[in-house]
Amino acid sequence: MQTSLWLLALLFAAIAIGFLLGRLDRFPRRRKSRALPRSVDFLLGEPSDRTLRAMVENLDTHPDTLDTHLALGRLFRKRGELDRATLIHQGMLDNSRLPEKVREDVELELARDFLSAGLFDRAEQVLQHMVDHDGRHAAVAMRHLMSIFEQERDWHSALAIGERLLRRNRDVAPVLAQYCCELAERLTAQQELNAARRLLRRALAFDGQCVRASLLQGRLEIQAGYWDNALRALRRVRRQNPLFLDQVLDDLERCYRALGREEDMLSFLLDACLETPSNALVVRLAGILRERAGEREASLFLAQYMKKFPSVQGLNEIIEMNRDTTQGNAREYLDTLRTLTQRLLAERPVYHCVQCGFRPHALHWQCPGCKGWATIAPVSGAMV
């Protein structure tokens, strides 16, 4: 009998302990279940600025809560509600208990808020602070600063911050070459030729394949009357990117003729045409042939090329060569064809961006579409 009483007492004790443990285990779950609906309601609803401010002032530094605040700020920025995004991120930074790792994340988000709002001066302050403290996002901050300086056309500052980024990422070197070219163009216009020369040499040190630097070097030396130096720079374009050779044909011919090296010019053009044929090269060769052998030989040369590579530009050149030797109705027909071909040439896309596909009629060293540097090139050597 006594044993049965002990067993009954133990049974009641086990039931009581189980009940108490169950009650204690429910308390944290209740806190979590109440926190989650509030976050969801916040994301999906339309909280007032006063509510947002109160939420940020009473910020819980638990990682889950901080992630929710960051996600909410990004959501507001994506929706164009930049004041609210800024309010959240600025309020988080004002919290002295914010962990340093999270503080770096919030600074980057705040800088992006300012950039989206066009407040470049305020974005620059935040980004410069991040760069000076050399935290986890310092490289990203440098890229944002470069973008700001590009838009402000502050090439000295862009070059300075870009050189700091270069120590971390060599891929930025071609962009720095473009900054040097921008400064060199400005100095050349101001007749500060020696300073421009130094910058162009610096551009080629950053990027040995920088076509723009060679082109600018050649034209600067032509302006100064140093024909050998100009020719050396312009010939380099063929090695850097043969598609751009058409852009310097006039300057090349001017240098060769100034130096009395017409035979060298013919040899250079023939080699280039065999390596990378283009309409502009063939038309240039046809012009030289016309000087030496007459219109008939030049026309036959062009016609042979056209059989293999038919193009509007080649047809237009044949029409030009034969207009002066025709009369009557034939001349009228040629004039009509000439008008049509010239209209087609004026409407064709001459360049395209290899990064975003933008197709301008003029050469841009920075794409107006994707803002990429040196991404625009002639359309297949302009063989259209």
Tell me the binding residues for Fe cation: 353, 356, 367, 370
376, β-bridge pairs: 353
Structural contact between residues 210 and 174, judged by C-beta atoms closer than 8 angstroms: yes
* CA neighbor of 318 nearest in space, from 330, 303, 337, 332: 303
* Cα dist from 200 to 102, 203, 237, whole Å: 42, 5, 14
| Alpha-carbon gap, residue 103 to 6, rounded angstroms | 61
Q: What is the largest CA-CA distance in the chain?
A: 138
* CA neighbor of 142 nearest in space, from 119, 176, 118: 176
| Alpha-carbon gap, residue 233 to 231, rounded angstroms | 5
| Alpha-carbon gap, residue 287 to 293, rounded angstroms | 10
The values of phi and psi at residue 366, to 5°, are -120, 125
| Alpha-carbon gap, residue 157 to 176, rounded angstroms | 11
The dihedral formed by the CA atoms of 79, 82, 84 and 90, expressed in degrees to the nearest 10: 130
| Alpha-carbon gap, residue 37 to 227, rounded angstroms | 76
H helix and E strand count, the chain? 18, 2
Token pair in block for residue 302: 């062009």
Token pair in block for residue 94: 């004002």
The values of phi and psi at residue 376, to 5°, are -95, 135
Token pair in block for residue 371: 């803002």
Type of residue numbered 160: A
Inter-axis angle of helices 279-293 and 312-323, to 10 degrees?
A: 20
First-to-last CA distance in the chain?
Answer: 110
Binding-site residues, in ranges, read 353, 356, 367, 370
The values of phi and psi at residue 353, to 5°, are -90, 125
| Alpha-carbon gap, residue 199 to 250, rounded angstroms | 24
